[in-house]
């Protein structure tokens, strides 16, 4: 790993921590009075989700830029010039380290072993990109899923501020979340896996070695299984909210939760 990536990881870690501690409280309290009325544990969750949204927008938009304009990565998805992708991945790694520290410091209220496992697995997989510069196209492509995170977090913000499930803004965000989640996590599966299968048996694929091959394929399969399960839950919850709105009835908030997702 080059020193540039080390600095980006460290800088992202510090930057996200400062945003959580200093920027989010000021920004949120000026934006909505409801922020100051939240209990302490929800304030931490609020700030962490705002950081999550900022990270998702930075990484997601950077990901689209690379997919559209980085010819070297698109022409050679396994061994193409990884410089821009490594920068994007380094930002994400800095965020993952920040979030692991946050979870550890607030384990009684925010701790979740699932997210610890998720973050550690992601760091392991992205480690191959940062240290060996392999699979730049595929690593970057997976980050497009971050574009659904702001809508997931916004659903939690509405819930924390006690917006009713049938409020037009809640319904609109729920529909947008379902559509974007489908586009960036489900609809992209066929072209992604077509690209993956296209590398099998090639010299570039063999050159990766077994460790990188296993980390790549296994992590992708697990993520896509989770995304499919989450898509089902989101669709079911969205359907219940929309039908409840149309019927003018109440929606059980416990049964209509789309997804309990802390980060992405």
pLDDT digits (tens, 9 = 90+) for 140-153: 999 999 999 999 99
pLDDT digits (tens, 9 = 90+) for 95-146: 999 999 999 998 888 888 878 888 888 898 898 899 999 999 999 999 999 9
CA-based radius of gyration for the chain: 19
What is the per-residue pLDDT for 152? 93
Counting residues of the chain whose pLDDT is more than 90, the rounded percentage is 63
What is the per-residue pLDDT for 244? 67
Separation between Cα atoms, residue 62 and residue 147, nearest integer Å: 11
C-alpha distances out from residue 50 to 60, 142, 231, Å: 15, 21, 22
What's the mean pLDDT when you consider all of the chain? 88
Kindly tell me the burial class for residue 45, based on how many C-beta atoms sit within 10 Å of its own C-beta (0-12, 13-18, 19 or more).
buried
pTM score, two decimals?
0.87
The CB density around residue 85, as the number of other CB atoms within 10 Å, is: 27
Question: Tokens representing 250?
Answer: 């109440």
Asked whether the CA dihedral 204, 208, 212, 213 is positive or negative, the reply is positive
pLDDT digits (tens, 9 = 90+) for 51-101: 999 999 999 999 999 999 999 898 999 999 899 999 999 999 999 999 999
Beta strands in the chain (DSSP E): none
- Band the pLDDT of 259: cuts 50, 70, 90: very low
The CB density around residue 27, as the number of other CB atoms within 10 Å, is: 14
């Amino acid at each position: 790993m080059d020193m540039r990536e080390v600095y980006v990881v460290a800088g992202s870690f510090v930057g996200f921590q400062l945003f959580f501690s200093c920027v989010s409280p000021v920004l949120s309290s000026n934006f909505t009075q409801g922020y100051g009325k939240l209990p302490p544990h929800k304030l931490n969750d609020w700030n962490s989700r705002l950081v999550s949204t900022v990270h998702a927008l930075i990484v997601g938009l950077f990901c689209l830029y690379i997919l559209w304009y980085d010819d070297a990565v698109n022409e050679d998805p396994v061994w193409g010039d990884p410089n821009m992708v490594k920068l994007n991945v380094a930002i994400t790694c800095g965020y993952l380290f920040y979030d692991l520290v946050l979870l550890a410091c607030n384990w009684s209220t925010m701790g979740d072993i699932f997210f610890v496992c998720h973050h550690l697995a992601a760091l392991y997989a992205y480690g191959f990109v940062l240290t060996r510069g392999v699979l730049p196209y595929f690593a970057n492509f997976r980050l497009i899923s971050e574009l659904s995170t702001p809508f997931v977090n916004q659903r939690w913000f509405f819930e924390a501020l006690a917006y009713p499930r049938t409020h037009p803004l809640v319904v609109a965000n729920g529909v947008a979340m379902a559509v974007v989640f489908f586009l960036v996590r489900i609809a992209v599966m066929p072209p992604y896996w077509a690209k993956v299968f296209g590398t099998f048996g090639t010299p570039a694929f063999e050159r990766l070695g077994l460790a990188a091959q296993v980390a790549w394929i296994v992590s992708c399969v697990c993520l896509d299984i989770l995304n499919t399960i989450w898509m089902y839950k989101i669709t079911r919850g969205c359907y219940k909210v929309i039908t409840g709105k149309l019927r003018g009835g109440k929606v059980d908030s416990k049964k209509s939760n789309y997804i309990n997702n802390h980060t992405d």
